[in-house]
Homo-oligomer: A and B are copies of this chain.
Amino acid sequence: MPSESVPFKNLVDISFFAEKIDLALSTISYGDKPAELYDPIRYIMQLGGKRLRPLVTLLAGYLFQDDVQKCIKPACGVEIFHNFTLLHDDIMDKAPLRRGKPTVHEKWNHNIAILSGDVMMVRAYEQFLEVEPAKLQKVLKLFSSCAAAVCEGQQLDMNFETRDYITIDDYLHMITLKTAVLLGFSLELGAILNGATEHDAKLLKNFGINVGIAFQLRDDLLDVYGDQTKFGKQLGGDILADKKTFLLLTALTQADDKQKEILSRFRNNTAAAAEEKVREVTQVYTELDIRAQTEAKINNYFEEAIQCLNAVSAPENRQALLRNLALQLMEREN
C-alpha cells in the first residue's frame, strides 16, 4: 500500500490523525454471517467515542517518523479491543446505556453480547498481523500482557464492590490496570512501530499510564464537582452507587467521628433520599477539602506524565501535540 507523508508539516494538527483513524475504522470488515454475531460489533464501533487510544498511537508514531501508515491498523486493533472491553463490562455491570444508546445485551441479548465480544477480541488481534515480522512477536506480547491486565483491573473493580476495606493504593492499582495500561500500551505501540528506542518507548508508555490515572481521577472529581450544564450524566452518580472512588477513599482516611458517621449512614443505604445523600456526602468532602486534594493528585500524575514526554528524543512541535491532548483531557468538563 502506498504510504502518505504528512503534508504542511508546520500546520499538522490532531484532526489530521483523527481523520485517518475514522477512515480506517470505517473500512474494517468484521464479518457478515451470522448477522446476530457481526451486527453488534458494527453497532458498538459506530457509537463513537473519542478514539483517544488509536489517536495517541498515531501521535506517538509521528514523534519518530513523518509517516504513520504502519501504525494505523494496530491502532484500530487497540480501539476494537477497547470497545470489546466496554461490551463485556456493560454485561457485567448490567448497564442499560452506552453513549446514550442501548447496550448490546439490551438491544440484542446476553448471549449475543458475550459472543460478539469474543469475536471482537479476535478481530482486534487480527489488526496487528500486518506488523513487520521482526516486531510482531514483541508487539503481540505487549498487547497480550496489556489485555490480561485490563481484565485483571475489571475483576478487581468488581471485587471492590463487595469488599469493605480498600486502600487508596488498592484503588490506584485497580484504575492503573483497568484504564491506564491500555493508554500506556497505545503510546508504546506507536513508538515501537515507528522505530523509537526502547527508552523512548518506555517513556511514552509511562506518559500514557500517568495520563490515564489522572484521567480516571478527573472522572471521579467531575462526578461530584462537575458543571451540571456541561457534564453528560447526573452529578453524584458515584455517590448514589456507593462507588469507592478516590474521593470517598480519601475522605474515609481523614474523616472525624461525626463525618465517618455520615458516610457510613448513607453507605449502601438505598432508602436514603438521593438528593440528601449526594448533598450530605458532598458536604463531608467539602469540609475535608477533598476537591483540592484530588486536584493536587491529578496534577502530580499530569506533571509526571509531562516529564516523561519531555524526556523523549523527538521534535518539540510534535511533542506539543501530545502535550496539548493531555492538557485537554485534564481540563475536560465531561
Residues of B within 8 A of A115 (CB): 88, 92, 151, 154-155, 158
Assess the B37–A155 pair: CB atoms within 8 A: yes
- Contact code string A123-136 (vs B, CB < 8 Å = 1, else 0): 10110011001101
Chain B interface: which of A28-36, A44-52, A294-302, A308-316?
A28-36
Determine the residue in chain B with the shortest Cβ distance to A32: B152
Q: How far is the CB of A171 from chain B (nearest CB, A)?
A: 14
Q: How far is the CB of A255 from chain B (nearest CB, A)?
A: 28
8 pairs, A vs B, C-beta closer than 8 Å: A31-B152, A34-B156, A37-B155, A91-B111, A115-B154, A119-B151, A125-B125, A136-B137
Residues of B within 8 A of A134 (CB): 133
Known: A111-B92, A158-B111, A159-B34. A129 touches B152 (CB 8 A): no
Residues of B within 8 A of A31 (CB): 148, 152
* A114 located at the interface, meaning its Cβ lies under 8 Å from any Cβ of chain B in the complex: yes
Please classify how large the interface on chain A is, using the bins under 10, 10 to 19, 20 to 34, 35 or more. Answer: 35 or more
Q: How far is the CB of A195 from chain B (nearest CB, A)?
A: 18
Known: A34-B159, A37-B151. A141 touches B129 (CB 8 A): yes
Give bound CA distance, A151 to B117, whole Å: 10
Assess the A118–B36 pair: CB atoms within 8 A: no
Scoring A114, A133, A141 by chain B CB atoms within 10 A of each residue's CB, the highest score goes to: A114
Give bound CA distance, A126 to B34, whole Å: 28
- Contact code string A100-144 (vs B, CB < 8 Å = 1, else 0): 000000000011101101110111011001100110110011001
